[in-house]
Every structure is written in C-alpha cells, then in structure tokens.
Structure 1
Amino acid sequence: MSADERFKGCHFPKCVVLQVVYYYLRFALSYRDIEELMQDRNVPVDHATIQRWVVTYSSKLEKQFRKKKSPVGNSWRMDETYIRVKKDWYYLYRAVDKAGQTIDFLFTKHRDTKAAKRFFKKAIRANGAPEKITIDGSAANKAAIETINKEMKTPIIIRQVKYLNNIVEQDHRFIKRITRLMLGFKSFNSARSTLIGIELVHMLRKGQSANPMAKHKTMFEQFCALVG
C-alpha cells in the first residue's frame, strides 16, 4: 500500500498525522496535551481526531516495521502485565531476549493456557523457535509451552527462575509509563491498536530496525520512513 493510499481522505498533511501519532506513542501525554501543543503551532486538530489517527495508523505502521525488524536471540524471557480497559483489567503478554530486545507481544482478554499458547505461537511464527524460555511460576504459561513442545522436533527448554525474568519485568515500565495518563482505555480494540503503536516506538527506541540507514536517522525519522 502506498503512502497516499494510507492517508487517503485525511484532511491534514501526512507529516502532521505522523507527528501527533508519534507524540502520543512516545511520550506520556494525553490527547488533550497534544491538541494544545498542535494549537500552539497553529494546527487546529482536536483530541478526538488524534485518537482516531492513533487507532487507525498504529497497526499499519507496526506491520511495516515487522518487515525490517532485526533478528532476536534464542533465549527468551516472557511475562504478562495488566492493562485497564474501562473498569476491567486485561493482559498484555510480552517477551524479550536476554539482551532486552522485544520479541513479540499479544493483548488478550484472558490470562490462561489458551491465551499463553496463542502468544507463544505468534512469537514463534514471527521469530522462529527459541532454545529456551524463562517464565515466572505461572502454571498456565508452562502448560502452554509443554503443549507446543509436543509439536516440535526439538523441545524448548522451560526455566522458571524469577530473577532471570527481571529483564522483561523492567521492560514493562516503558509501556506502563506511556499508558499511565490514559486513565483506562475505552474499548478493547482501541487499547490493542494503541498498545501495538507503543510497542512499535519502544522497538525503535531500542534500535531494533534492521534497516542499515536507521542508525543515521532519529527515531521520528525512522517512524516516518515506515510509511514509505
């Protein structure tokens, strides 16, 4: 899909759209904060429009990034964290390698073996099977890996060592810091789309683009380059 097709029907230049979407996904700002910032630059975009852009474009940009994502290590650390949607709590499954590089993530309504298996399947499909996965004491996560191991020629080593999982637990902090001012998402789908965008920017922040020109560009320039 071309850049023009992605922004077809939008009444603002794509540089404005990308700027406000990036602000929201990168910094701990509310939609109204960004609305005020843009008004100071004589760009009359309202907070509802900004929210719509974030939900619309986050997944599309992340999909483009996955085509250029650097390979990850074969020793994974996996954990889940809580995200609020209205008055309920849902679950963001995440994994990083031992160097702290993001492997994958999945936002789900449930925290059980089925959800954990979905996450592991998604991560393996995108990154290949790891040699070992470190998890916490969750029986559901362990059962999910054991189920997957039955389908594999070389089983994944399961480690349940809490201190080794500090890397992924610390990595949650960037996601939680950005979502803290959101005061709870209004719907599961908008939460999922927004979290995809936050994870995208987090991967850019960690230098996970395999594009050889990325190191010569700022994070925002790399973000914009995903449009093509």
Structure 2
Amino acid sequence: MAKTKKSARATLPPSIGKVLKRLHHPLDVILLCVRWYVAYSLSLRNLEEMMAERGLEVDHSSVHRWVIKLVPLFEKAFRKHKRPVGKSWRMDETYVKVRGQWKYLYRAVDKAGNTVDFLLRAHRDKAAARRYFEKAIDRNGEPETITVDKSGANLAALEALNADRPTPIKVRQSKYLNNVVEQDHRAIKRIIKPMMGFKDFRCARIILAGIEVMHMIRKGQMQDDGIARNPAEKFYSIII
C-alpha cells in the first residue's frame, strides 16, 4: 500500500488494471475504501466523511462504484487461495432486504466454523436450496454430512440431490447443531446493518460477496504463503 499510484498500477494483473483504468483516485485510497466498506459497519456516507477528514474529496457514489467493480475480482482471486473446508457442514439461510423486500442469503460453515460457501437467492424454496448445495459442492467438494434445520425445502433439496448420487450425503435435521452457522450469520448482518438495505439485487450479491471474503480472511481461511500478514494485508495481497 506504500507504492505510488503509477508504480502500483503498473504491477497489477491486466484484469485488475483494466478495471482501474478509468478510476482516477490514488490506488491506495480506492483499495482502502473498498476494504473498509466490506470489513466494518460503515455506510457509504461514513466513508465519504472519513476521507474528507483526511483531506481527500471522495464522493460516496464513487466508493459504491469502486466496490461494485473490484469486489468480483477480489472474490475470484480469493477462491484460488481459500483453504479446504471440513466434510461436515451446517447450512442455514438468513434474511437480507433488497429494494424493501426480504431475500435469502444461503450459507454454510463446517463444524469448525469455517465458511463453506454462500449464495443470495430471491426465493426460499427447494430450487433455491438445491442451487446453493450444487454450487457449494462444485466449489468445495462433496461433504459426508450436511446438517439443516427443520426447513422442509432444504430437506427436499438434499433428498433430490442424493437421488442422483451413487453415495448419498448423510442428512441431519437439528436446530441445536446448527447454532454454529446461526452465530456466524451475525458477523455478516452486523456489517450490512448501516447499509439500510440494498437497492439492487446484483449490487447486493456483489457487496455480500466482499463481506464474506473479508469474513473468511479474518477467520484464517486464506492459505498462508509463508509471509506473516494481518487481515488487511491479506486482503490487499489477493490482487497486488
């Protein structure tokens, strides 16, 4: 983060440099705002004021634009460095408001509390749950056990999934065993609270992905390359 604007941008991968080409603020300011927005309970206007206190004129709409452009690149890059998760998953969905309506963020953690995967869906039903399980298994491998709550939709999705598998995944329904994922939801909900709901489904999906990536980094889910780094440095190292 100590590099100059010109030299820092010159060393970025082409895909990142292309996105940043039309963004004219210093690179360290852009990355700082993006990280703070997905790491802490801050609104866009909070960040605008915080930058102003540092003598930097940054409009809140610019911060939003940076987040939407850069977070997908951070998420894609992070996937290459994500540690493998355990074979026993706890899955649950939580509510997220988009354009004044409740949408559903499907999430799972392993028994150690590591995030398996996440997916924002418009509906809470069998199709949404199955899509989540398919995505999570595709990216993280097949688990031995999945624990869900008493939701009939989640159970139906797993039963449909198992019907196509030579070795079925063991399914458990237990509210008590799912406490670990319900507790983990709180870290995500705490960050989005100042945002007062999302205005657009696509933007919600992108911002939630950034929050999830930062949450996983804090939990130590990024593979260590032998260099001691704090969570902020790990976040920046994904693309720099």
- Fold agreement, TM-score > 0.5: yes
Matched position secondary structure for 2:225:
coil
Q: The residue matched to 2:178 in structure 1 has which SS?
A: helix
* CA distances 1:29-52 after superposition (whole Å, capped 9, x unpaired): 111111111111121111011011
Amino acid aligned to 2:37? Y
Whether 2:83 is the aligned partner of 1:79: answer no
**1:58-69 aligned within 5 A:** 58-69=71-82
Determine the structure 1 residue equivalent to 2:153. 140
Q: Which residue of 2 aligns with 1:90?
A: 103
**How many residues of Structure 1 are paired with residues of Structure 2 in the alignment?**
227
In structure 2, the residue matched to 1:121 is 134
Letter in 2 for 1:13: P
Q: Does 1:217 find its partner at 2:229?
A: yes
How far apart are residue 181 of structure 1 and its match? 0.8
Say which SS state the counterpart of residue 164 (structure 1) adopts.
Answer: coil
State how 1:27-38 maps to structure 2 within 5 Å.
Answer: 27-38=40-51
Residue 69 of structure 2: which of 51, 56, 59 is its match? 56
- Alignment match, 1:23: 36
Q: CA deviation at 1:60?
A: 1.2
- SS of aligned partner of 1:192: helix
CA RMSD of aligned residues (A): 1.0
1:184-223 matches, cutoff 5 A: 184-213=197-226, 216-223=228-235
TM-aligned CA deviation for residue 211 of structure 1: 3.0
Q: For 2:223 and 2:109, locate their aligned partners in 1 and report how far apart those are by CA, in whole Å.
A: 17
Compute the displacement of 1:78 (Å): 0.1
> Paired residue for 1:226?
238
- 2:123 maps to 110
Instruction: Find the counterpart in structure 1 of residue 17 from structure 2.
Output: 4
Question: Corresponding residue for 1:154?
Answer: 167
> What is the rounded CA distance, in whole Å, between the counterparts of 1:14 and 1:225 in structure 2?
14
- Give 1:207 deviation, angstroms: 0.6
Q: 2:57 aligns with which of 20, 26, 44?
A: 44
Q: Report the equivalent of 1:99.
A: 112
> What are the ranges of 5 or more consecutive residues in structure 2 without an aligned counterpart?
1-12
- The 3-state SS of whatever aligns with 1:106 is strand
CA positional deviation for 1:212 = 2.5
2:9 matched to which residue of 1? none
Gaps of at least 5 residues in structure 1 are: none
- Which residue type is aligned with residue 227 of structure 1? I
Q: 2:18 corresponds to which letter in structure 1?
A: E
Residues in 1 aligned to 2:226 and 2:122: alpha-carbon distance in whole angstroms: 38
Q: Secondary structure at the match of 1:162?
A: coil
Letter in 2 for 1:208: Q
State the AA in 1 paired with 2:142.
Answer: A
Identity rate of aligned residues, in percent? 51
Distance in 1 between the 2:61 and 2:92 partners?
33
Whether the 8 Å CA contact 2:34–2:66 is kept in 1: the answer is yes
Once the two structures are TM-superposed, the CA of residue 63 in structure 1 deviates from its matched residue by 0.8
Equivalent residue, structure 2, for 1:183: 196
The DSSP-based 3-state class of the residue aligned with 1:90 is strand
